[in-house]
Amino acid sequence: EKLQNSIELLNNYKAGKVGLISDQQLWEAQKIKSAILHPDTGEKILPPFRMSGYVPF
């Protein structure tokens, strides 16, 4: 799953275990993580309640 890969990549980066990873890959991983997980609780947000699920009229 994309979320698990993103979390793993970010955790490895924080621990200093990452090899050749571009800034773009890290930002993409952060974007995926922040779009799916609640920032305070870390729980998954259901798709209809994510901010990306709202379209302006």
CB 33 within 8 A of CB 6: yes
For the chain, how many structural domains are there in total? 1
- Supply the pLDDT for residue 10: 95
Domain limits at 8?
A: 2-53
CB 55 within 8 A of CB 39: no
Convert the pLDDT of each residue in 19-57 to its tens digit: 888 999 999 999 999 989 998 998 998 887 777 656 665
User: What average pLDDT does range 6-22 have in this prediction?
Assistant: 91
The pTM score is: 0.76
